[in-house]
Structure 1
Amino acid sequence: MAAVTVSGSALAGSDDIQWISQCMMDNKNEGKTTEVVRKYCECMNEKMDDNETQSITQWEKTHAKEAKECDAKAGWK
């Protein structure tokens, strides 16, 4: 999965790539394509502050508005 994330996140820093990769692993059993999960995780990562210490999976639990926006952007249905 890391190769997919790296190619899809060419402008992301190494911390971003790690967060997105972890998010993708956390969501791999949700029944969505890798592309949809990657788009969702990238979107959530973009919405988070650069100094955030929570994982995307932790952060999304307290940021329902952002999660809903990223669901729509990624095509998560």
Structure 2
Amino acid sequence: MLTAFTIVSNLTFAGNADDTKWIAQCMMDNKDEGQPTEVVQKYCECMNDKMDKNETQSITEWEKTHTAEKKECSEKAGWK
């Protein structure tokens, strides 16, 4: 089982510090969902990309009201 530190420290993608913060939080919020780390990371990156850059909600909050984006990113990431 990967620790939260390992998950967050493995984030390597093109983006800014704000993106990194939101994606790391999303990964922490979803770490107990039974998905491989790579799937969760792809999902969180996809959701982050869908959000407006000025969004103030976390990915976890935003996904509750954006079901189409959530479904698309789940499929893209391979969420089972």
Scaled by the length of structure 2, the TM-score of the pair is 0.90
Unmatched 5+ stretches in structure 2 = 1-6
One-letter amino acid matched to 2:37: T
2:56 corresponds to which residue?
Answer: 53
Residue type at the aligned position of 1:46:
D
User: Which whole-Å CA distance do the structure 1 matches of 2:17 and 2:68 have between them?
Assistant: 26
**Residue in structure 1 matched with residue 68 of structure 2 by the alignment:** 65
CA distance in 2, matches of 1:73, 1:20: 16
Q: How many residues align?
A: 74
Structure 1 unaligned regions, length at least 5 = none
TM-score between the two structures when normalised by the length of structure 1: 0.94
- 1:15 corresponds, among 14, 18, 24, to 18
Identity of aligned residues (%): 65
